[in-house]
Amino acid sequence: MLNFRNTNIVFIVLLAALTGCHILYGLPFYSYIILSFVYSLLLFWGSYFIGSNFYFNVICSAKTEQKQIAISFDDGPFPEFTPQVLQILKENKVPAAFFCIGKRVQEHAELFQQVIAEGHLIGNHSYSHHLWFDLFSAGKMAADLQAMDDAMKKIAGLKPRLFRPPYGVTNPNLKKAVIKGNYIPIGWNIRSMDTVIKNEQKLLEKVTRLLKPGAVVLFHDTAKATPGMLSAFIRQVKDSGYEIVRLDKLLKLEPYA
């Protein structure tokens, strides 16, 4: 299995072998550059592809043959679009998971309470969702995640167990923070790209063609195109014989501590 530990072991061995060959046979210096470049590519892949499980295990889907999927929304609550998303989910009797940002939970407490009151699951998506979150120390990351927990506990009396990394990026520092907070890392295996795709029809076509049993779909309740295509998406999912269940039911997890 390709992971951070095994990769380091292999590259240490390769570096030692390369050094020996350099001393004995005079291999060119650029050999070290090539080795470093390949190593960097692997670290990039492991960090930016959440399903790689490179640094730690992230649950991205359910292993099932049943035609069930879960939908999730990141980055809210967001007053401009979250109410529209909630209304569509309510009209269609569909549960969802909302991975919320702590500072927005505090800023929009009533909307956050509405999400919970309507039966949706809440996960931790950090407090700050800072642009440079991936460069934080392990201690700073842990404090940031705890701040989201504290905000949620104060407003709703619940502590989330499920955590989705900001930007979907993982690294060794985040692993330490996840272990310290005793979180269950959650990813996705269908990324809608709704923060990039502005055309509702194109967004709908992209997501529906990737449907498969056990899928976890990533949307954002901060994206304008999402509420515009959500009803059609739900309709197509159901017409295809799928059931949309809440994320914790799909993955058989306890969502709160």
Amino acid at 257: A
Q: What does the CA dihedral 172, 177, 101, 135 come to, rounded to 10 degrees?
A: -40
* 3-class state of residue 71 by DSSP: strand
150 counts as catalytic? no
DSSP labels for 137-163?
-HHHHHHHHHHHHHHHHHHHS--B-EE
How many Å apart are CA 190 and CA 195, to the nearest integer? 14
Catalytic residue among 75, 129, 220, 221: 220
Q: Is 106 exposed, middle or buried (0-12, 13-18, 19+ CB in 10 A)?
A: middle
Catalytic residue among 74, 75, 194, 248: 74
120 assigned to active site: no
The amino acid occupying position 33 is: I
Cα–Cα distance measured from residue 108 to residue 112, given in angstroms and rounded to the nearest whole number = 6
Measure the CA–CA gap between 215 and 219, rounded to whole angstroms: 13
Per-residue tokens: 179: 């272990």
Nearest to 246 by CA among 87, 72, 64: 72
Residues annotated as catalytic (active site), given as ranges = 74, 220
